[in-house]
Structure 1
Amino acid sequence: MSFLDLVRATPVAVDYLLWPGDFNLDAYSHVEEVVLASGEGLEEVAKCGAGGTFFLCGEGGDERPVLYADSEGGAAVMAVGLEEMVRLLLAVPWWRDCVRLTEEESAEAAEQYLEDEPDLFADRDAAAAALGLEVPTVAEALARLREVAFGLGPSYVLLNAEEGNPYEPLFRP
């Protein structure tokens, strides 16, 4: 069974990923046609509520890089593999509020999330346990996201297929 199949078969994980993870496994088409500059394939795997899309890049299975493209022309490689992407969402579901990938940004965002979702950590822990995953610390998750986005990201440039314009990086050094 692939990791994606395991997630889909685990209701507590699907619920957490849907919210607060904003990772809807009922994928549908991105807002515009996109391609990778390298010519490698893209497979839509999930959507977010704001119209963004999570793609698996290249050929293979769940271990492929995961690229997120928002509906406003921004993109970033988020993880190497779906399991790493899910661990990131377990640790830092508010990653969009961390454009500089700092713990300070994360702490502010976490505070806001916890006001609305007081059971967030209990729900997260239940989802992680059901999938057999350890939840990284916020510092570990942000460090890995930085490593992937800035290290591997330049190899996965997303282009508007019609105009050929590259998407802008979502994160700033």
Structure 2
Amino acid sequence: MESLIAAVREQDEAARFLVWPGDFDLDRGDHVEEVHLASGATLEGFAGDGAGGTYFFCGEGGEERPILYADSEGGAAPVAIGLPELLRLLLVVPWWRDCQAFTAEESRELAAEYLEDMPDLPARRDRAAAALGIDLPAQADVLARLREVAVRMGEDFVLVLTPEGHPYEPLFTN
């Protein structure tokens, strides 16, 4: 089976959607600071965002590994178990970082703001998902899963700023 990373690189329209509005770029995998997981598990940066945040695979294996997101302000949280789940999050709720309450209402308000600037967002999203062979779940399901992974698994994936030994703050608190 072809890797999803390779598929994203080959599918220009999907890659463009993931870069914006998804704010996910496979060419930005280097984190600006030296970090490690408190557990000692392997940490592999593989993508980033425009504000200096990084997506890391955690542990051993391939694209099925848990994914931790660390922003440039000292916050981090697990956001998905495996790349397919992360891509569903980025396709369905590209504004996920602003969904602090994980509610459909909050997401609808943010979606409305995005749709003002990008009225073709749903069509672009659907084409990107089809190109990658990804089924799109409902926003509420994606947000519930994000909450489950970020909040319930957060303590298992504590990111530490290596030179100072300080842990990053959780991105989500509820």
TM-score (norm 2): 0.96
| TM-fit CA distance, 1:2 | 1.4
The residue aligned with 2:54 is 53
The residue aligned with 1:26 is 27
- 1:85-128 Cα shifts (integer Å, max 9, x gaps): 00011110000111121112211111111111111000000001
Structure 1: tracts of 5 or more residues without a match: none
Structure 1 residue 12 corresponds to structure 2 residue 13? yes
- 2:110 is paired with a residue of what secondary structure? helix
Distance in 2, Cα, partners of 1:50 & 1:157: 21
| TM-fit CA distance, 1:65 | 0.6
Q: Is the 8 A contact 1:88 1:136 kept in 2?
A: no
Distance in 1, Cα, partners of 2:18 & 2:88: 10
Structure 2 letter corresponding to 1:115: E
Structure 1 segments, 4+ long, off by >2 Å, are none
| TM-fit CA distance, 1:28 | 3.9
- 1:162 is paired with a residue of what secondary structure? coil
TM-score (norm 1): 0.97
- 1:75 is paired with a residue of what secondary structure? strand
Distance in 2, Cα, partners of 1:156 & 1:96: 18
| TM-fit CA distance, 1:153 | 2.0
Aligned length: 173
Distance in 1, Cα, partners of 2:154 & 2:8: 25
| TM-fit CA distance, 1:78 | 0.3
Structure 2 letter corresponding to 1:96: R
